[in-house]
Amino acid sequence: MSRLIEINSLQKRYGAKTVLENISLSFESGTIAGILGPNGSGKTSIMKILAGIIKDYDGEVLIDGSAPNEYTKSIVSYLPEKTYLAEGNKAKYALDFFEDFYTDFDRSKAEEMFRQFKLDPEQKIKSMSKGMQEKVQLILVMSRKTKVYLLDEPLGGLDPASRKAMLDIILNNYSEDAVVLLSTHLISDVERIFDRIIMVGDKKIIVDDSVDNIRQSTGKSVEELFEEVFKC
Amino acid sequence: MPKDFSSNAPIYVQIMNEVKLKIVSGGWEPGQRLQSVRELAVEFSVNPNTMQRALSELERDGLLYTERTAGRYVSQDKTKISKARDEMAEEYTDSYYNSMIRLGYGKEDIVGIVSGKSGIKRRKENEQVNRD
């Protein structure tokens, strides 16, 4: 177990609006953590900062000891909230692209998952359903053997059966000494795969605990606790 | 297929029960080698750390044991397994009995319903009921 992610007194503003205020968090290897929070709570901002996409923040962010830079990008596999695959291309080109770009990309593993989920590499991205596109992206991201996986809302467009399949992809493929951070609002479906829950709201960390501690101490599921904490 | 977990109990406790059920029902045989934690985690759709914790607790209870480097096995102690089965039977019986009482049935009614269902000798049923 080593500390892979360390965030100290992180602050993020968009213009005059503060979205994250004095956030401190750290993650050890071997963790699958859920980042939960209502819309606009700063989940995506945390992900983007860790991914090295947002650079103007205050505070300290370290991934495997380094502030986000070329090295950390090489050990972070990031699934953005919005699709980034070139729509006009066949899925096959996305495989080529990942293979060219990432030395840790296991193409045969990705192709095997394509077969498993009946995805056709010859099909154009734009002719795929939203659910199929999400599957393609998650397969690409999880086929990298790396230290940090950042999955921003990977389950949004999927039906319940596909969600289960996606969770299996994540459980089957993450490296055991890695950190997986997954943001979602579909809590009940996924809380069983987390060992730690971070609830973000009102710019701060409101809850940071293990799923079983939450259940043991509150007698509630994570979803029930979430609804209570963020009651409108 | 994973089970739906109830909301109020820790997930590891619920997995322990699922695994126990496999062991005491003979679905997993005494001395059988378990799959890896990772494989079981996928099978139950849970976090590997949660799975690990459930297995460690069952090891402490003596229903599983680990051979250095070789893996994890179901206990070969049949007395222990049958005792665990009795304990589970008792829990289920308590829970059934209490639910029936809440529904407004009396002991006699319950005995009647159960013996009608299973054909188990009434004497045995009475013992069970009297123990509660």
Are B96 and B113 in contact by the 8 Å Cβ rule? The answer is no
- Among the listed ranges A151-155, B103-107, B127-131, which one has the minimum average pLDDT value? B127-131
| Residue B28 touches partner A, C-beta closer than 8 Å | no
In this complex, do B2 and A216 lie within 8 Å of one another by their Cβ atoms? Answer: no
Task: Give the start-to-end residue ranges of the domains of chain A.
Answer: 3-229
Question: How far, CA to CA in Å, does A216 sit from each of A33, A213, B9, B108?
Answer: 18, 5, 7, 37
pTM metric for this prediction = 0.83
pLDDT, tens only, A123-148: 999 999 888 898 999 999 999 999 99
Chain B: closest CA distance from residue A139 (Å)? 16
Query: What residue in A sits closest to B5 (Cα-Cα)?
Result: A192
Q: Please state, in angstroms and rounded to a whole number, the distance separating the CA atoms of residues B132 and B130.
A: 5
Cα separation, B52 vs B49, in Å, equals 5
Helix ranges (DSSP H) in chain B? 11-24, 37-44, 48-60, 78-102, 107-118, 122-131
Q: Which residues contact B119 (CB under 8 A, 6 or more apart)?
A: none
The answer to whether A192 contacts B11, with C-beta atoms less than 8 Å apart, is: yes
Chain A contact for B26 (CB, 8 A cutoff) = no
Chain A contact present for B21, CB below 8 A: no
pLDDT band at B1, cuts 50/70/90? very low
* A193 reaches B (C-beta below 8 A): yes
> With bands split at pLDDT 50, 70 and 90, how would you rate the model's confidence at A109?
very high
For B11-46, write each residue's pLDDT tens digit: 999 999 999 999 999 999 999 999 999 899 988 989
Q: Of the CATH numbers 1.10.540.10, 3.30.413.10, 3.30.465.10, 1.10.10.10, which one belongs to the domain with range B11-76?
A: 1.10.10.10
Mean pLDDT over each residue of chain A, to the nearest integer: 91
pLDDT beyond 50 at A69: yes
A224 part of contact set with chain B, CB < 8 Å? yes
Check if B48 contacts A (Cβ < 8 Å): yes
Q: How confident is the model at residue A38 (pLDDT cuts 50, 70, 90)?
A: confident
A164 contact residues in B (CB cutoff 8 A): 2, 45
> Which two tokens mark A112?
């095997």
CA-based nearest residue in chain A for residue B9: A215
Q: What is the token pair recorded at A106?
A: 């296991």
Inter-chain touch A215–B8, beta carbons under 8 Å = yes
Rounded Cα gap, residues B44 and A187, in angstroms: 17
Locus of tokens 């109990």: B9
Residue B111: which residues within 8 A CB-CB, separation 6 or more? B122, B125, B126, B129
Q: What is the ipTM of this complex?
A: 0.74
pLDDT > 70: percent of chain A: 100
Q: Mark yes or no for CB contact B42/A172 under 8 Å.
A: yes
What pLDDT is stored for residue A85 in this prediction?
Answer: 85
What is the CATH code for A3-229?
Answer: 3.40.50.300
Q: Where are the domains of chain B?
A: 11-76, 80-115
Distance of alpha carbon A55 from alpha carbon A73, whole angstroms = 13
Residues of B in Cβ contact (< 8 Å) with A30: 49
Q: CB A219 to CB B8 under 8 A?
A: yes
